[in-house]
């Protein structure tokens, strides 16, 4: 039987049935492409696990990532996450404020030093001593460095904390950087997206609680189970791309027929995320299914990669002035060369 302070007991007390719990574990194992036996291992591990202490720091952000998680379509998912973890500090969600709130963070750090999971959303301003974003008079930089010291691992949720995101966009007035630009001695997992898919956040949390480590990551720190494929490769409109059928405008016949949005600037071919498979709002749809191209929001510097509506093959810069100037220069040099050559020809003719 479950010990009273174990996660299983905690869930049972909260009215989460074993059936719901099994469904959650199976769904999470399936989402992460784990073998079928992993679902049972997850059930067993989560049942016996202590609730994972989590400190969630929000820095330069829009709260979209927290909204994504807490306003997720599936209330069970939200409930599962907050029953599975002990969210000891999250200044948007917690009831406490002021000194009481900061005290909660310090107590959680002290109680679970070296064991707690640190979740960060939002980028960290570094310009001018980091004055552009502070919490309780502490700069984001100082709070991150202090809190990261006792963390077992860090999860950077959202593109801002993973890669700098929109605050990092040119001209980056606050000197915004990602968590991984500051913290170098802790395992960091990036769960980018603007915002990330709620199921992805839940999946990686379940994995960490079950296995006590982060899942396998790609070269920019994203869990491979969710970020191994491009949106384009998993897109239901892909056959239209292969057939050469493209929507030319957002309201033409091609758009009404659901043809590929590549010509309208879709960044699906260069964007790695699980939107096309897991989808949003309980699997209802994702941006492309709603008729808009992918913005590439889970990729670094997505805001600075040219217009969202400029197709991928089109050069980023307007090259016409440079090409015209080069052509004029080429004609001038060619003309001078021809004049010199003509002069030589005339000189040779005179000598003859």
CB of 25: closest distance to other proteins in angstroms?
A: 32
SS (H, E, C) 139-208: EHHHHHHHHHCCEEEEEEECHHHHHCCHHHCCCCCCCEECHHHHCCCCCEEEECCCCCCHHHHHHHHHHH
Of 23-31, 105-113, 185-193, 315-323, the window that binds other proteins (rule: CB under 8 A) is 315-323
> What is the distance between the alpha carbons of residues 190 and 226, in angstroms, rounded to a whole number?
11
Residue in 89, 132, 262, 303 binding other proteins, rule: CB under 8 A: 262
Rank residues 93 and 328 by Cβ distance to other proteins and give the closer one: 328
The pair of three-digit structure tokens given for residue 59, joined into one six-digit string: 């820095």
Q: What residues from 224 to 253 belong to the interface with other proteins (CB under 8 A)?
A: 230, 232-233, 241-244, 246
Q: What residues from 288 to 307 belong to the interface with other proteins (CB under 8 A)?
A: 300-301, 304-306
Size of the site for other proteins (CB under 8 A): 46
> What is the distance between the alpha carbons of residues 300 and 161, in angstroms, rounded to a whole number?
11
Rank residues 20 and 301 by Cβ distance to other proteins and give the closer one: 301
State yes or no: residue 263 binds other proteins (CB under 8 A).
yes
189 has which bridge partners? 155
Residue 99 CB neighbours (<10 A):
9
State yes or no: residue 331 binds other proteins (CB under 8 A).
yes
Question: Which residue has tokens 């590929």?
Answer: 260
Of 76-84, 131-139, 171-179, 326-334, the window that binds other proteins (rule: CB under 8 A) is 326-334
- Which DSSP state fits 310? S
Contacts of 345 (CB under 8 A, 6+ apart): none
Rank residues 187 and 306 by Cβ distance to other proteins and give the closer one: 306
State yes or no: residue 342 binds other proteins (CB under 8 A).
yes
Contacts of 144 (CB under 8 A, 6+ apart): 57, 59, 120, 124, 179, 182, 183
Residue in 5, 317, 351, 352 binding other proteins, rule: CB under 8 A: 317
CB of 73: closest distance to other proteins in angstroms?
A: 30
State yes or no: residue 92 binds other proteins (CB under 8 A).
no
State yes or no: residue 270 binds other proteins (CB under 8 A).
yes
Rank residues 71 and 248 by Cβ distance to other proteins and give the closer one: 248
Report the first-to-last Cα separation within the chain, whole angstroms: 113
Contact residues toward other proteins (CB under 8 A) are 230, 232-233, 241-244, 246, 262-263, 269-270, 300-301, 304-306, 310-317, 319, 322-331, 333-335, 337-339, 341-342, 345-346
């Amino acid at each position: 039987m479950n010990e009273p302070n174990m996660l299983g007991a905690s869930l049972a007390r909260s009215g989460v049935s074993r059936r719901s719990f099994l469904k959650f574990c199976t769904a999470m194992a399936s989402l992460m492409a784990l073998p079928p036996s992993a679902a049972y291992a997850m059930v067993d591990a989560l049942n016996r696990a202590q609730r994972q202490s989590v400190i969630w720091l929000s820095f330069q952000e829009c709260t979209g990532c927290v909204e994504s998680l807490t306003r997720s379509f599936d209330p069970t998912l939200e409930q599962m996450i907050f029953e599975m973890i002990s969210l000891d500090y999250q200044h948007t969600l917690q009831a406490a404020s002021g000194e009481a709130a900061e005290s909660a963070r310090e107590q959680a750090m002290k109680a679970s030093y070296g064991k707690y999971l640190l979740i960060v959303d939002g980028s960290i301003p570094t310009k001018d001593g980091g004055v552009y974003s502070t919490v309780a008079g502490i700069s984001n930089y100082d709070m991150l460095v202090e809190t990261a010291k006792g963390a077992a691992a860090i999860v950077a949720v959202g593109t801002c904390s993973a890669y700098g995101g929109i605050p990092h966009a040119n001209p980056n007035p606050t000197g915004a950087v990602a968590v991984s630009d500051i913290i170098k001695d802790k395992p960091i997992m990036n769960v980018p997206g603007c915002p990330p898919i709620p199921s992805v956040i839940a999946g990686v949390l379940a994995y960490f609680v079950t296995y006590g480590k982060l899942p396998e990551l790609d070269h920019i720190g994203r869990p491979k189970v969710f970020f191994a494929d491009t949106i384009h490769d998993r897109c239901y409109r892909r056959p239209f791309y292969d057939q050469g059928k493209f929507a030319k405008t957002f309201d033409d016949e091609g758009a009404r027929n659901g043809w590929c949005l590549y010509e309208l600037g879709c960044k699906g071919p260069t964007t790695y995320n699980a939107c096309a498979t897991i989808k949003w709002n309980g699997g209802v749809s994702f941006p492309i299914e709603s008729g808009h191209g992918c913005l590439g929001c889970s990729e670094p510097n997505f805001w600075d990669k040219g217009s969202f509506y400029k197709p991928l093959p089109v050069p980023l810069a307007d090259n016409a002035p440079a090409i015209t100037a080069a052509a004029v220069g080429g004609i001038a040099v060619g003309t001078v060369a021809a004049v010199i050559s003509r002069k030589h020809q005339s000189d040779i003719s005179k000598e003859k």
